[in-house]
Structure 1
Amino acid sequence: MSVTTPQPQLPDVDSLSYEEARDELVQVVARLEAGGEPLEASLALWERGEALAARCQTWLDGARERLEAAQKRASGAATEQEDED
């Protein structure tokens, strides 16, 4: 009879900040690279890592969009200023 250790309840990936998701992803990768996990645990880690990577990408995409919008606003303001001069 095998004894399974209950897994700690992990926070929902969608609730994580970029930094939290990135830090947990680093830990997941380190555990996977170290090996030694049973197959089921490795698969669960892999799935969690995929979800964390997607969360990080969502944050980065949002930051890129905000930056591009700010650059467009700044460019438009500069153009308006040149027109006034």
Structure 2
Amino acid sequence: MVFFAAILPPFVDPSAGHASLQMVVLGAVFAAIALAMDSVWDLAAGTVLSWFARSARHLDLVGAAGLTMVGLGVGLAVSGRKD
């Protein structure tokens, strides 16, 4: 509610009609876009999950990627800024 109250009012044109109706339409458009994008992410995650589940080698790749990320994080933390 706070997000909508802060973000949507600049997009409402009082001269174009009922401001409350415009707010409802903008909120509905946001909800529709959010639902569509969440559905896309859900389908993509399901596809990736089935790909990982097919082989133990794929799971090894996940472990290697995780270790790589940890190594990059440690390297970044150790290097620090000199200024």
TM-score (norm 1): 0.47
**Higher RCO (C-alpha under 8 Å, 6+ residues apart):** 1
Structure with the bigger percentage of helix:
2
TM-score (norm 2): 0.48
Structure ID, larger Rg: 2
